[in-house]
Structure 1
Amino acid sequence: MSNTQSKKENLLVELFVEELPPKALKKLGESFAAALADSLKAQGLAGADSAVTPYASPRRLAAHLSGVLAQAPDRAVQQKLMPVSVALDASGQPTPALLKKLGALGLDATVVPQLKRAMDGKAEALFHDSVVQGATLAEGLQKALEEALGKLPIPKVMSYQLADGWTSVDFVRPAHGLVALHGADIVPVGVLGLQAGRNTEGHRFEALQSPVVLRDADSYAEQLEAEGAVIAGFAARRAEIVRQLQAAAAQLGGGVRPIDDEALLDEVTALVERPKVLVGQFEAEFLEVPQECLILTMKANQKYFPLLDAEGRLTHRFLLVSNIRPEDPSAVVGGNERVVRPRLADAKFFFDQDRKKTLESRVPGLARVVYHGKLGSQGERVERVRAIARAIGALLGGEVLAARADQAAMLAKADLLTDMVGEFPELQGVMGGYYARHDGLDGEVAAAIEDHYKPRFAGDQLPRHLLGVVVALADKLETLVGLFGIGQVPTGDKDPFALRRHALGVIRMLSEKQLPLSVEALLKLAAEPFGALLNAPLAPLGDFIYDRLSSGLREQGYSAQEVDAVLALRPPHLAEVPRRLQAVRAFASLPEAESLAAANKRVGNILKKAEGLMVPQVDTALLVEAPERALHDALVAARPVSDAAFERGDYAASLQALAALKVPVDAFFDAVMVNAEDAALRANRLGLLATLHAAMNRVADLSKLAA
C-alpha cells in the first residue's frame, strides 16, 4: 500500500437539513455518528480506537471520527468451494461443477493446483485463497452513509422533490447540503441527491459568514461557532444553556432556581443553535391558579423554565431560551410575555369555571364516558374501584377506613370531566385534589384523590397516607384484573394500557408500605365486582406480577438464583421478600450451603418421582439404619429452632439453623437406600425426606441455589 493510500486523517461528515423534530434530535445525532463509525470500522477504514464525536443542532447531523484511512488494508480471504468428492473426478481432474463455480468467481482451471484441501466437518473440501483489495474511503464512506441514513430512528418520514422537480426523496426533513472532509480533502460521496463539498450554513440570522467554508475536519466546531454563530455539539449547547440558566437565576437573587426538567432541557437544546437565556415575567395575580397548571402550560406550550423560590413555590418570573442574541432583548422578552399571558389567562379561566361545580356533582357524568368496549363506562369502573377500595380498607382499617376509601374512590375520577384536565390531561388527580379541598373535603381524602395515580413512573413517590394507598391499590388492581380478565395481556414491547407499570405500582405499595395483604387474596377480591364480565383466567396475572417483581429485584442487584429461590415459594406478603432475600444471601455464604442446596435438589427430585403424595411424617420404629436415625435426630433438634426463628420473622436465623443438617444429610445419602424393597421402610424414608424438604424450604426453595 502506498503512503498516500495509508494516509490517516480525521474525518468530518455533516448533513445539513431543515429543522429536525426536537424531541428526536439527540437520538438522531447519536445514531448517525455511531452508525457511520461502526460501518467504517467494519470496513477497516477506521481502527477500534478511533474516537467518534457526534454533533446535532436543529439543522444538522454531523460526526467527527479520528484516525480514518484513505484506503483500508488489503485482506486475505479464504472461500470454501465444494467437497473434494464433488470437485474432482477419480483421476483428480476438475469436474464440470468445479469449473462452473470457478467461472462464477472469475477464475478458470489454471488455479486448480493452487486450491487448498482441508477438512470441513467430516468431509474434505476445496478452498480458494485470495487477497481482497481494501476499500477506498470514497467507497467505504458511501456505503457507511447509506447505512447510517437507513438506521436513523426517524419518527416520521416525509417525501420531497429535488431541484430537478422530478426526483422524489424520502427523509426526516429536506436535506440541502453534504460535507465530507478527510483532513482538508473532500471525499467524493453523495446521498439524498446531494454531492459532498466543504460548505455549510451557519445561523439563519446571526452568521458572520455565509456559507461557512470549512478548512478541514478538525476546524468544524470552531468555525461554526466563530463564523456561523452555531454551537454544533448537542452536549456543548446543553451545557451552555444550563450555565446561562443558573447565572440568570443567581443574578435575580432571593434563592430562586429554574425548575429541574431534563426532558425540557433536551428539547430546548434541540430548538436553538445559539442559546441566549432571558428573563420574563407575568402578573402575580395568576399565581392564584395552582402552580402545577402554570408550570405545565409554560413548559409544554412555551418551552419556558419556570422559576421557583427557595421553598419550591412558583414565582411570577420565568426564563426563556432565545435563539438570537440581540443587543436590546426587550422586544424578545416583551413578545414572549405577550404570548404567555393568554395561556395563563386560559388556565385561570378553567380553574375558576371548574370550581363552580363540586366534584360529587360531576360523578354521574362519568357514566357517559367510555372506559373500554368490554368493561363499560368510567362510571361503571368507578363503582368497581369503590368496591375494591372498601374491601381493602376494611382489611387494613375496619369500617372507618373502608368508608373513607369509598368516598375518595367515588370522587377520584371526577376531575376527568373538568375543563382543566380536558386541556391538560397530565393534571388528572392533581386537579381533583385541588377541587376536593375547595369543596371542603377532608385533607386526607383530597390527598388520596390526588395520589391515587401514584406511582406514575419508576421512582415516583407513593401515596402519602394509608387512605391514598388503599385507593391507588384499588385503581391499579381494577385495571389489571379487568384487562387480564378479558384477555388484554401485554405482548413483547406492546403494553398500551401500561399494565407493567400498574403491576410495579402494586408491588411497590405492598412491599414499601409493609402491607399484610397477599397478592392472591387481592386478586380474588378485585375480581368480585366484575361479576360475569371476565372471561379469561386470572392465574396469568399472578404470574405477571411475580415476573415484574423478579425483574425489579434483579435490577436491584440480587442474583437470579437468590430471586428464584425466594419467589419459587410465592411469598404471600411481598413486604417479606427483601428480608427473605437477605437471609438467602447470608445462607449462601455458609460453608454448608452448597452441599445442602444440592441435597435439597436431590430430595426434591426423589419426592417428585415417588408415587403418590408423600406425607411428611416419620415412624421412629422403622428407622433401622444408623444414618437415618442420625438425620432424624438432627432434624428433630434443628427444626424447632428454625421454625421459631421463621415465626418471629428472623429468616436468616431460620436458615442458619439448618446448617447443622449438612453432615447427617450427607451421611444419609452415602449409606441409606431410599427406595428399599420393603414398602414400609421405603415409605418411612420418603416421609423423612418429605419432612426434611418441608423444614428446609420455608424461607426459600434452597434447591434453586444448587449449581
Structure 2
Amino acid sequence: MTATANLLVELFVEELPPKALQKLGDAFAGVLREQLVAQGLAAADAPLTAYASPRRLAAHVVDVLDQAPDKAVSQKLMPVTVGLGADGQPTPALLKKLTALGADASVVPKLKRVHDGKAEVLHYESQARGVSLAQGLQKALDEAIAKLPIPKVMRYQLQDGWTSVNFVRPAHGLVALHGSSVVPVTALGLSAGNSTQGHRFEAAVQPVVIRDADSYAAQMREEGAVIAGFAERRAEIVRQLQAAAAQVGGGVRPIEDAALLDEVTALVERPNVLVCQFEQEFLAVPQECLILTMKANQKYFPLLDAEGRLTHRFLIVSNIAPEDASAVIGGNERVVRPRLADAKFFFDQDRKKTLASRVPQLAKVVYHNQLGTQGERVERVRAIAKAIGQQLFAALAERHQIEGTQDGEIAQDWLLTCVDNAALLAKTDLVTDMVGEFPELQGIMGAYYAVNDGLPNEVAHAIEDHYKPRFAGDSLPRENVGLVVALADKLETLVGMFGIGNLPTGDRDPFALRRHALGVIRMLVERDLPLDLHALVASAIPAFGDLIKDPAAALLDFFYERLAGSLREQGYHTQEVDAVLALRPRQLALVPRQLEAVRAFAQLPEAPALAAANKRITNILKKADAVDAHVNPELLREQAEQDLYAAMQRFVPEANAQFDAGDYRLSLQTLAALRAPVDAFFDDVMVNAEELALRLNRHGLLKSLHDAMNRVADLSRLAV
C-alpha cells in the first residue's frame, strides 16, 4: 500500500554567489520535481515551493508517493516467423529472449501479435515495478545537482581527504524528509538527515532539527532566524525599506533598483534595515557618482527626496539585529565615507582640465585593432554626425521644427556647430579619473564637465544622451543635437563592425550591435525623424576610407530583421509586418502608420479577394519579361478589362493623393473599391492572350494595378 506525504529536500552549503542565487534555487527545485514526476512519484501539477538563501537551496513538493505505481510495459520481441516455428512452438531465439526478460515458455500463448506495417511481430506485455521514493529521489537529486546553472564550478575535497567533488560551493548538510521520515539518499559525499544549520549568530538553537517537511519554513524562521524563501525575504526587505524611509520623513524614498534588491536578498538570511547618514558636503558631488558608489561597492540604498534629489541619508540591509544597532550603523558610515571622499576628489581633479584639452589623449586609447583608436573613431563620428545633421535639420526646417530662437540657415549652422562640438567631446570623459573608476558614468560625467566648461546645454545633453538608449525601454536623447550624435555614434559602430565582418552570432554580440540597431530604429520611429535609413547608412561609409568593405547590403538586412522582430514583440501580426517590410521602407518613421493602415485594410470584406488577386498578379508578372506599366486604352477589347481600367482611372489618382498626404489607411480603403472589377477581370479575361499586343497591354494593366495597390505594403503577403 503506497503512502503519500509532502517532501522536503535541502542542501546546506557555504555562501552561494549572490547574483546567481535565485536562478540556482529555481533550477534546483524545478529539476527535482520534474524528475519525480517523470518517475511517477508526483503529479505533473504538484505544488512546488523553491527556497534559496545565502547558504541553502531547498525544495518542498506536495503529495509525493513513497512508491511509484506499477505500470504496464509492452516490449517488442521479434517477428512471428522468427519466434515461432511452423508448429507454433517457440524457437530457441524466442526462449532466450524471454529468459533474458525473466520469463519462460509458459508466457508464449499470452504473447501479443502486432502488425507493424511490414510483418507480424510478437510483443511481451508485463507489469514493471514502480520505483521506491529512495531510488527515485536519488536519481532526481543527482539530476538536480548536475543541471544546476552554476556560473563557476568549485572543486573541493571531502573529509576523507581523498575524494574530490565539483559543486558551486562546498556542501555541508543534506536534509530529505518525506513527511517526518528521512529518505536515505546521498549527495556530494553527504547522507541525508533531518537537521540543518540556522543563522550563524542569531539562531535560537543549533542545529535546527526539522520535525517534518511542512514545518521547514516556520522552523527556519523561528528557531534558525532564517527566512528561507527568496521571494519572502525580498518582500520583507522592501517592507522594511519603505518603513525606514517613512520613519525618516520628509517624503524621502529609497532608490528603486530591482537588481540591487535581488543581490541584497541573496546576501542576507534575516534582513534588518537601518538608517545611516554621511556629511552633507558630499552632496556637492554629482549624485550619480554617490549613488553608484553606494550601490555598487556597498550595496546600500540611497534615499531620494520627493524631487528625486539625493539626500545625505541612506539605508543598509544588515544580516544581524542587535539590541543596540549603533555599532552597525557607525561601522557602515565609516566604511562609506572614504568612498564618497574618493568620488569628491575625482570630481574636483577632473574639473581642473577642460574636456577639449583631453581630446588628444583619445589618440592613445585603442578602440579596435582593425579600426584604430578612440581619437580616430571620434573623427569618424564627427563626419557622420555632420552628414546626418545636414539631412535632419534641412528636413526639420521644412517642417518648421528647428530648435533654437533663430530661424533659417543661422539656426541650422548653430545646431551643426553644437553637433560637431558634442561629437568631438562625447568620448573625452573616458580619460577622466571618475569614469576610470566608474565606467558606468561615461556620458553622465561628460555632461557635468561640459557644463563646468561653460558649453551650451545642447552640447552637454548630447554628450550624456549619445549613449541612449542604453538598454531596452531606456529613454531617448532629449534634443535633436543629441539624436544626431547618438545616431552617428551607433552607425559608426554598426558600419565599422559589419565592414570588418565582425557580426553577432547566436547569443554572442560583444559590441552590442543588436542593441545599437534597435536604438537607431527607436530614434527614427519614436521621434518621427524624416530620415532615409539607406541614406543614413550610405553617409556613414565614407568616414572609414579603405578600412572596411562596403557593408550596406548586410547591414540593411540586419536593420530590417531587428525591426521585424521588434514589431512582432509589440503585437503586430507576422503577416502585417511582412507585408510592410517587404517593400523595405526607407523612412522607418512611417512604418507604424503603414502597419495600422494594413491592419485596418485586412478587416475589410474586400481584403481577402484583393490580397489573393495581388498574389496572382505578382506570380504572373514574375513569369513575364520586363513589364512596362503602360496601358493603351484602344487595345482593351474585353468589357471586364475596360471596366477595370475605368475603375483604376477613377480610384487610383484619389488613392495616390491620399498616400502622398500620408493617409495610408484611407488610401487602401479607396483601393478596396477595385475588388469587383478585379474579380471580373480574372473571371472573363485571358491575360496571356496569343496576340502579343493584347498580352503586353494586359500585362501593362496588371503592372499599373500592382504598382498602385502596393505603395503602402505588399498586399500579396496578406493572402492565406
Q: Decide: shared fold, TM above 0.5.
A: yes
Matched residues, percent identical? 72
Deviations 1:634-680 (A, max 9, x none): 12211011111100000000111111111111111122111111111
Equivalent of residue 495 in structure 1, options 509, 514, 519: 509
Alignment partner of 1:75 is 2:89: no
2:52 touches 2:229 (CA, 8 Å); kept in 1? yes
- Structure 2 vs 1, CA of residues 98 and 614 (structure 1 numbering), >3 Å: closer, same or farther? farther
- Structure 2 vs 1, CA of residues 676 and 18 (structure 1 numbering), >3 Å: closer, same or farther? same
Counterpart mapping for 1:264-663 below 5 A: 264-397=260-393, 398-535=412-549, 537-610=551-624, 612-663=625-676
Deviations 1:365-388 (A, max 9, x none): 111111111111111111000000
Structure-1 residue corresponding to 2:133: 137
Greater shift, 290-299 or 625-634, is seen at: 625-634
2:273 touches 2:315 (CA, 8 Å); kept in 1? yes
Give the Cα separation in 1 of the matches to 2:630 and 2:88: 78
Shift of 1:340: 0.4
Shift of 1:103: 4.8
Amino acid in structure 1 at the alignment position of 2:480:
L
Structure-2 residue corresponding to 1:700: 713
Deviations 1:516-566 (A, max 9, x none): 111111110011100111125331111111111111111111110111111
Give the Cα separation in 2 of the matches to 1:533 and 1:102: 73
Give the Cα separation in 2 of the matches to 1:99 and 1:418: 84
1:582 touches 1:652 (CA, 8 Å); kept in 2? yes
Counterpart mapping for 1:232-251 below 5 A: 232-251=228-247
Structure-1 residue corresponding to 2:163: 167
1:229 touches 1:274 (CA, 8 Å); kept in 2? yes
- Structure 2 vs 1, CA of residues 534 and 100 (structure 1 numbering), >3 Å: closer, same or farther? farther
2:495 touches 2:551 (CA, 8 Å); kept in 1? no
Give the Cα separation in 2 of the matches to 1:83 and 1:670: 59
Give the Cα separation in 2 of the matches to 1:498 and 1:245: 35
Give the Cα separation in 2 of the matches to 1:672 and 1:83: 62
Amino acid in structure 1 at the alignment position of 2:268:
V
How well do the aligned residues superpose, as a CA RMSD in angstroms?
1.3
Query: Structure 1, unaligned stretches of length 5 or more?
Result: none
SS for the counterpart of 1:558 is coil
Shift of 1:109: 4.6
Equivalent of residue 685 in structure 1, options 693, 698, 701: 698
Greater shift, 208-217 or 618-627, is seen at: 618-627
Amino acid in structure 2 at the alignment position of 1:594:
P
- Structure 2 vs 1, CA of residues 383 and 200 (structure 1 numbering), >3 Å: closer, same or farther? same
Structure-2 residue corresponding to 1:202: 198
Counterpart mapping for 1:67-216 below 5 A: 67-88=63-84, 92=88, 94=90, 98-99=94-95, 101-216=97-212
Shift of 1:153: 0.8
- Structure 2 vs 1, CA of residues 622 and 52 (structure 1 numbering), >3 Å: closer, same or farther? same
- Structure 2 vs 1, CA of residues 385 and 90 (structure 1 numbering), >3 Å: closer, same or farther? farther
SS for the counterpart of 1:585 is helix
Give the Cα separation in 2 of the matches to 1:102 and 1:680: 81
Shift of 1:619: 1.2
Shift of 1:129: 1.4
Residue-pair matches, total: 702
Give the Cα separation in 2 of the matches to 1:520 and 1:348: 46
Amino acid in structure 1 at the alignment position of 2:297:
N
Shift of 1:413: 0.3
Amino acid in structure 1 at the alignment position of 2:493:
T
Shift of 1:308: 0.4
Shift of 1:23: 0.5
1:392 touches 1:402 (CA, 8 Å); kept in 2? no
Shift of 1:89: 5.4
Alignment partner of 1:14 is 2:4: no
Amino acid in structure 1 at the alignment position of 2:690:
E
Amino acid in structure 2 at the alignment position of 1:340:
V
- Structure 2 vs 1, CA of residues 526 and 233 (structure 1 numbering), >3 Å: closer, same or farther? same
Structure-1 residue corresponding to 2:219: 223
TM-score w.r.t. structure 1 length? 0.97
Give the Cα separation in 1 of the matches to 2:415 and 2:103: 88
- Structure 2 vs 1, CA of residues 229 and 370 (structure 1 numbering), >3 Å: closer, same or farther? same
1:486 touches 1:536 (CA, 8 Å); kept in 2? no
TM-score w.r.t. structure 2 length? 0.96
Query: Structure 2, unaligned stretches of length 5 or more?
Result: 394-411
Give the Cα separation in 2 of the matches to 1:570 and 1:606: 22
Give the Cα separation in 1 of the matches to 2:550 and 2:102: 63
SS for the counterpart of 2:571 is coil
1:393 touches 1:399 (CA, 8 Å); kept in 2? no
1:282 touches 1:317 (CA, 8 Å); kept in 2? yes
2:541 touches 2:550 (CA, 8 Å); kept in 1? no
Give the Cα separation in 2 of the matches to 1:59 and 1:212: 14
Give the Cα separation in 2 of the matches to 1:241 and 1:492: 38
Give the Cα separation in 1 of the matches to 2:416 and 2:90: 90
- Structure 2 vs 1, CA of residues 615 and 108 (structure 1 numbering), >3 Å: closer, same or farther? farther
Give the Cα separation in 1 of the matches to 2:168 and 2:704: 67
Shift of 1:77: 1.7
Give the Cα separation in 2 of the matches to 1:701 and 1:82: 58
Structure-2 residue corresponding to 1:664: 677
- Structure 2 vs 1, CA of residues 424 and 96 (structure 1 numbering), >3 Å: closer, same or farther? farther
- Structure 2 vs 1, CA of residues 22 and 689 (structure 1 numbering), >3 Å: closer, same or farther? same
Deviations 1:404-462 (A, max 9, x none): 21110000000000011010000000000011111111111011001100000000000
Greater shift, 109-118 or 275-284, is seen at: 109-118
Deviations 1:274-313 (A, max 9, x none): 1000011111111111000000000000000000011110
Structure-1 residue corresponding to 2:396: none
1:391 touches 1:402 (CA, 8 Å); kept in 2? no
- Structure 2 vs 1, CA of residues 101 and 627 (structure 1 numbering), >3 Å: closer, same or farther? farther
Deviations 1:223-276 (A, max 9, x none): 011100001111111111000000000011100000000000000000000100
Deviations 1:191-221 (A, max 9, x none): 1001111001100000001000010000000
1:394 touches 1:401 (CA, 8 Å); kept in 2? no
2:111 touches 2:124 (CA, 8 Å); kept in 1? yes
SS for the counterpart of 2:177 is strand
Deviations 1:84-115 (A, max 9, x none): 45545555555565555445444455433322
SS for the counterpart of 1:248 is helix
Give the Cα separation in 2 of the matches to 1:601 and 1:342: 71
Amino acid in structure 2 at the alignment position of 1:77:
V
